[in-house]
Amino acid sequence: MYLVFLGAPGAGKGTQATRICEKYNIPHISTGDILRANIKEGTPLGVEAKKFIDKGLLVPDEVVIGLVKQRLGEKDCEKGFLLDGFPRTLEQAKALNEFAKISNAINICVDENLVVDRIAGRRMCKCGESYHVSWYDKDTCAKCGSKLYQRDDDKEETVKARLEVYKKQTAPLIEYYKQMGVLSDVDGAQEMNKVFEDIVRILDDNN
């Protein structure tokens, strides 16, 4: 299983990706998580990436392509992987095509209004779990007990920029993977477990 998850910010990619990777025992590769880890550690890459992330803009292609190429070369990716948040531009998709053969691109579809609401109420944990204030009212993680926080780029002004970036630069990838014959749409407005079941059905049918 060589998977790509597409969808607007807040579509539920991260939540579903975590569950799918647990089920199929494949590594979850989130470029956003890798970049945030670098920011936290204060690496040169993190310092550079932060300038773009804080504005809701994409980190330059050559930076993320290099990161992903290196990560996919590691042993645990041999039998499969799930890319969450990569590719985000046509350039990235074309580069990926040179070093990996994607078996499924799952496009999690949601309405823009729903996305804004989801992001505004999203709370994260450092262990990777994420929650929404509408169904989780505690401020500590149910899995590991750490304190939950809101991502800096989940604040309203940045969200608008991220959505614009998605529409201009990332949405065209839907057509790209459709042409490749590997795209499946999933209705991301459904209840979380239902979205998960739909993805599992697609993957079990195709792999």
Q: Is 17 in the site for ligand AMP (CB under 6 A)?
A: no
Phi-psi region of 10 (alpha: psi -120 to 50; beta: other; left: phi over 0): left
Residues 91-120, interacting with ligand AMP (CB under 6 A): 92
- 122 catalytic per annotation: yes
Cα distance between residue 40 and residue 56, in whole Å: 18
- 143 catalytic per annotation: no
Among 6, 162, 188, 196, binds ligand AMP (CB under 6 A): 162
- 19 catalytic per annotation: no
Q: Where are the alpha helices (DSSP H) in 26-89?
A: 31-41, 44-53, 61-72
Cα distance between residue 131 and residue 108, in whole Å: 18
Closer CB to ligand AMP, 129 or 153, in the complex: 153
Q: Which residue is nearest to ligand AMP (CB)?
A: 32
Kindly state the tokens that stand for 36.
Answer: 């945030």
Among 4, 7, 8, 9, binds ligand AMP (CB under 6 A): 9
Residues 31-60, interacting with ligand AMP (CB under 6 A): 31-32, 35, 52-53, 56-59
Residues whose CB is less than 8 angstroms from the CB of residue 161 and which lie 6 or more positions away in sequence, other chains included = 55, 56, 57
Q: Is 64 in the site for ligand AMP (CB under 6 A)?
A: yes
Kindly state the tokens that stand for 32.
Answer: 């956003």
Residues whose CB is less than 8 angstroms from the CB of residue 195 and which lie 6 or more positions away in sequence, other chains included = 12, 16, 108, 186, 187, 188
Among 5, 81, 86, 177, binds ligand AMP (CB under 6 A): 86
Cα distance between residue 109 and residue 4, in whole Å: 14
Strand partners, 104: 3
Closer CB to ligand AMP, 104 or 170, in the complex: 170
Q: What's the min distance (Å) between Cβ of 146 and ligand AMP?
A: 18
Q: What's the min distance (Å) between Cβ of 204 and ligand AMP?
A: 26
- 88 catalytic per annotation: yes
- 36 catalytic per annotation: no
Q: Is 88 in the site for ligand AMP (CB under 6 A)?
A: yes
Angle at CA 10, nearest 5°, toward 4 and 14? 45
Respond yes or no on whether the N-terminal peptide bond of residue 87 is cis (omega within 30° of 0). Answer: yes
Residues acting as catalytic residues: 13, 88, 122, 151, 162
* Interaction site with ligand AMP (CB under 6 A): 9, 31-32, 35, 52-53, 56-59, 64, 85-86, 88, 92, 153, 162
